[in-house]
Structure 1
Amino acid sequence: QIFRKFDGLAGDIERAQPPVDLWRKFIYCTSLSGSILGSVDHMKQEDFDKVVSPISVAHFSQYKLVDLLLKKLDGVGFQTCFPDELGGSSAQDLLLENKILMGHECSSIELTDDGILVGASFNNGGRMQERKLHCGLLLGADGARSKVRELAGISMKGERDLQQLVSVHFVSRDLGKYLSSERPGMLFFIFNPDAIGVLVAHDLEHGEFVLQVPFYPPQQMFEDFSAKVCEQIIVKLVGWEPADIQVLDIKPWAMHAEVAEKYVGCDNRVILVGDAAHRFPPAGGFGMNTGVQDAHNLAWKLCLLLNGIADPSIIQTYESERKPVATFNTELSLENFKAAMSIPATLGLDPTIANSE
């Protein structure tokens, strides 16, 4: 609904997403080619008839969304810049208005009389360097492990380390083709004696997947999950060996259910947005949706503030309006996660027993 306002972005997503019939189901199975334990069609007819909203639900990979957003921003006068295009380690002589600096990470913040001096680190030919950028406001939209949040001294409150997982991004057109014809779906919950995991089918047509595998330190560590080990796990979960598995990326992550104690800090100069302000279990897809809504709420308020129409106190309404939504969505996604865990528990795979081990 929010993207609908942004130069036809909602329509672009709708046209670029996979056909709905390929992703509307959640499937529980012993392997992707084994017995089906059950399936859930999570779409209703009213979703297609646009009864509750003028726009339909969509299933779209984050990196594809980022590419689309960058193209839209380019169309309204923003310029994407990489470190080697900017040169030098100082930003004093650089005109950075309307620039999107890729490959930069906030490494330090220092309050000044009229704003914040931000240290932005970047890799310059294998050597880390830092630019100093001066700004009136700093928006921390830097994800669940937000450095801005840490530097601003804002803590998180809620439940930590609900589960440790390895996320494996891989492609296999063979597997995509098989699932398209035999059992199309978006989420596959797979339980067998050799391996368990949740497979997210991002695009069956192009064979693009993300596999989530739980692991249990200290018996298992992230370092144990090499590309070869991940390929072996994929084969066990598929039930046969696709010839064209290509592992693109392997990352660890911890599932939390937390909300920042405050959204605005450092004399109202630092503002947290999205995953930097809240971390949910992924059950229900609330994380990105809540983050997009945060950004929308904040954007028009900043516009009024910077144009001298509103008082600085308008920024406080961002926290008072968005934080309760994050708290509600944290509880809802936590409920969803616990409900989802009841299924492996029924099959004799109780995570609380694994944790106690």
Structure 2
Amino acid sequence: MGAIEVPVLIVGGGGCGLSASVFLSDHGVGHVLVERHADTSILPKAHYLNQRTMEIFRQHGLDDEVAEQGAPVEKFGKVRWQTTLAGNGPLDARVIHEMDAFGGGELRERYAEAGPVLPVKLPQVRLEPILRRHAERRNPGRILFGHELADFSHDGDRIVATVRDVETGEITTVAAQYMVAADGGRTVGAALGVEMQGPPGLANVTTVYFSADLSAWWREGTLITHFLDPHHPDRSSNLIEMGPTWGTGCEEWGLHFSPNDPTPFDEETVVPRIREVLGLPDLDVTLLHVTHWTVEALLADRYRDGRVLLAGDAAHRQPPAVGLGLNTGIQDAHNLAWKLAAVLTGRAHDSLLDTYEAERWPVGRHNIDWAMSAAAHHQAILDVIGVGERTPPQRRVPMISTYFDPSPLGAVARARAAEVFDTHRAACQAHDVEMGFAYEEGAIAPDGSQPPARVPMRDVYQPTTRPGHLLPHAWLEREGRCLSTHDLTGPATGFALLTGPDGLAWREAAAQVAEKFSISISAAAIGRDAEFSDVDGRWEAVREISDEGAVLVRPDNHVAWRSMSGSESPVDVLANAVSRILDHPSGSPVVP
């Protein structure tokens, strides 16, 4: 192919890299993506797309196709603990506990109020082809699978990379102004000397993907079913639907074995163990893949090195508990895309890209710590019912038998366990972790206010218009069309200024400031007799500004600035805020 000059080079074609490609295309940023594999993932891997990620997909026209192939919350909105799936023994096929999770059941109304779309379950093996198709449609000829990064260097105001066609060996030189490393940390970070900080491998896990007909025994509606072996603590495992049909008709499954299981899993030993775990000795199993992987809790010491920006697993790797890994990576790409667009078009200084690390590194730190805490707490759940590793072998069967006993003693055991199980909401109902994260430093103009109090278990999301937080969702109506507050901004519309019905001065100021900075600011009045009507009064309940106030929202739907009321100098105040956001100078909070 010779040589290519392009604004951005993306290294890595997994969920994060392909999402970055789609987002950059929508922002009009030219780029090339290289991925060493010939095709997208052959393994299901991550499978839960949280509400924030689905909102991002909605902004970029991906949500319909993802939802069409994925499972809706009614098909996965529970977590369940069982002894086995089937069997005739006194402790076989017993449901220990189940609880609503990830927006399902009684949580649905709360989640529906928080956003325009709900979470979806879709494994990466089915998600990545969707992302690849959209990436190729929006950037034809520049999504290069079967091409690996062979070498790269900083060369003044650009990155010069050598890319090799894996099949032919043909070399292409790519010169880019910036490079996004979404390669899982395999190449770029190590070459730059980026240190992945954290403990060494926490556990070695074997996951088996297989197909089988479990329709006669499967209790549908769960994201994950934990099987707890009353006799052998090292044989506990969990089972996950992998589609493509959801519910009792599911054809493919993922089974994670306990890290402490001493079995040397291979294709000969793993099928008998599947049957043993499920309590189905005669189950017809077709083995698809056996994978061995390491649980990690690592965070890059920096997200930016010159003109290279790290995203996804190249920047953070966490235990799968809470389902934050892929979601965090996609949200990294979303944060970065509009900033790259602003810098590359000259609307912002290069220093805006420093805010990527300032904003996303703390989120990566928090999500790793939260996943670690949730994973450790699951052990406490096992211990309280007598199937944990700390339970003496001779006590395991008596304790779990008491749990199922209809006697008053059994009722007490179940009541005690229920209280411990309820604390698992920090893992499977962590709505505030998924939606309530905020940027305290970065491309924002703080107003000196304090964040709303967060409940310790992070299961209650509190919307707020405080700068740095996600813009609260509310349904609006304009000329008979229903839309979300989140639809007022995005790659096509740029920034948005949301005002009260009496905020005309702010809206007029927005036009002048947009012209001054050569950016797009769409102004919208919301409220009585305004351009946008507040359908059910939710915007008024969450806006936290007066009828004369205003909220400036970034293209990624995070609040950049707000004024609680009017101002004597709205143009100067708004211009000062936009200057701070795009140029990121140091200074005191912007207070009108």
Equivalence map 1:55-70=2 (5 Å): 55-70=117-132
Match of residue 154 from structure 1: 194
Equivalence map 1:1-357=2 (5 Å): 1-7=55-61, 9-33=62-86, 34-42=93-101, 43-48=104-109, 50-79=112-141, 99-124=142-167, 131-143=172-184, 145-172=185-212, 174-175=213-214, 177-180=215-218, 182=219, 184-192=221-229, 193=231, 195-203=235-243, 204=247, 205-216=249-260, 224-241=264-281, 243-265=283-305, 268-346=306-384, 347-350=386-389
On the 8 A contact 2:136/2:143 being kept in 1, the answer is: no
Q: For residues 207-259 of structure 1, what are the alpha-carbon distances to aligned partners after superposition, in whole Å with 9 as ceiling and x for unaligned?
A: 22111123359x66xxx321222212211111114654222222211112221
> Taking every aligned residue pair, what percent have the same amino acid on both sides?
27
On the 8 A contact 2:207/2:255 being kept in 1, the answer is: yes
On the 8 A contact 1:156/1:258 being kept in 2, the answer is: yes
Larger CA deviation: 338-347 vs 147-156: 338-347
Q: C-alpha separation between the residues in 2 aligned to 1:19 and 1:57?
A: 7
Shift in Å at residue 261 of structure 1?
A: 0.6
The residue type equivalent to 2:179 in the other structure is L
The residue type equivalent to 1:3 in the other structure is F
SS at match of 2:216: helix
Structure (1 or 2) with the larger CA radius of gyration: 2
The residue type equivalent to 2:257 in the other structure is V
SS at match of 1:3: helix
Q: C-alpha separation between the residues in 2 aligned to 1:78 and 1:279?
A: 31
Shift in Å at residue 281 of structure 1?
A: 1.1
Larger CA deviation: 203-212 vs 344-353: 344-353
Q: C-alpha separation between the residues in 2 aligned to 1:11 and 1:160?
A: 40
Q: C-alpha separation between the residues in 1 aligned to 2:117 and 2:297?
A: 29
On the 8 A contact 1:196/1:213 being kept in 2, the answer is: yes
Gaps spanning 5+ residues in structure 1: where?
80-98
Q: Which has the higher contact order (CA 8 A, sep 6+)?
A: 1
Describe the shift of the 1:241–1:135 C-alpha distance in structure 2 as closer, same or farther (beyond 3 A).
farther
Q: For residues 176-230 of structure 1, what are the alpha-carbon distances to aligned partners after superposition, in whole Å with 9 as ceiling and x for unaligned?
A: x2345x454221111224632111222343322111123359x66xxx3212222
Q: C-alpha separation between the residues in 2 aligned to 1:109 and 1:214?
A: 40
The residue type equivalent to 2:182 in the other structure is A
Q: C-alpha separation between the residues in 2 aligned to 1:148 and 1:178?
A: 48
The residue type equivalent to 1:104 in the other structure is H
Q: C-alpha separation between the residues in 2 aligned to 1:312 and 1:78?
A: 28
SS at match of 1:313: helix
On the 8 A contact 1:46/1:52 being kept in 2, the answer is: no
The residue type equivalent to 2:256 in the other structure is Q
On the 8 A contact 1:290/1:326 being kept in 2, the answer is: yes
SS at match of 1:298: helix
On the 8 A contact 2:77/2:105 being kept in 1, the answer is: no
On the 8 A contact 1:47/1:57 being kept in 2, the answer is: no
On the 8 A contact 2:72/2:121 being kept in 1, the answer is: no
Larger CA deviation: 234-243 vs 282-291: 234-243
SS at match of 1:159: coil
SS at match of 2:194: coil
Q: C-alpha separation between the residues in 1 aligned to 2:366 and 2:338?
A: 23
Q: C-alpha separation between the residues in 2 aligned to 1:315 and 1:215?
A: 40
Q: C-alpha separation between the residues in 2 aligned to 1:19 and 1:293?
A: 21
Q: For residues 288-317 of structure 1, what are the alpha-carbon distances to aligned partners after superposition, in whole Å with 9 as ceiling and x for unaligned?
A: 111111100100011111112111111100
On the 8 A contact 1:163/1:214 being kept in 2, the answer is: no
SS at match of 1:314: helix
The residue type equivalent to 2:227 in the other structure is I
Describe the shift of the 1:37–1:45 C-alpha distance in structure 2 as closer, same or farther (beyond 3 A).
closer
SS at match of 1:232: helix
Shift in Å at residue 5 of structure 1?
A: 0.8
On the 8 A contact 2:76/2:222 being kept in 1, the answer is: yes
SS at match of 2:322: coil
On the 8 A contact 1:48/1:56 being kept in 2, the answer is: no
Q: For residues 258-304 of structure 1, what are the alpha-carbon distances to aligned partners after superposition, in whole Å with 9 as ceiling and x for unaligned?
A: 21110001xx1111011111111111111111111110010001111
Shift in Å at residue 138 of structure 1?
A: 1.6
Match of residue 397 from structure 2: none
On the 8 A contact 1:117/1:133 being kept in 2, the answer is: yes
Q: TM-score, structure 2 length as denominator?
A: 0.51
Larger CA deviation: 296-305 vs 104-113: 104-113
SS at match of 1:228: coil
Q: C-alpha separation between the residues in 1 aligned to 2:380 and 2:325?
A: 22
SS at match of 2:122: coil
Aligned length: 321
On the 8 A contact 2:228/2:387 being kept in 1, the answer is: no
The residue type equivalent to 2:73 in the other structure is V
Match of residue 95 from structure 1: none
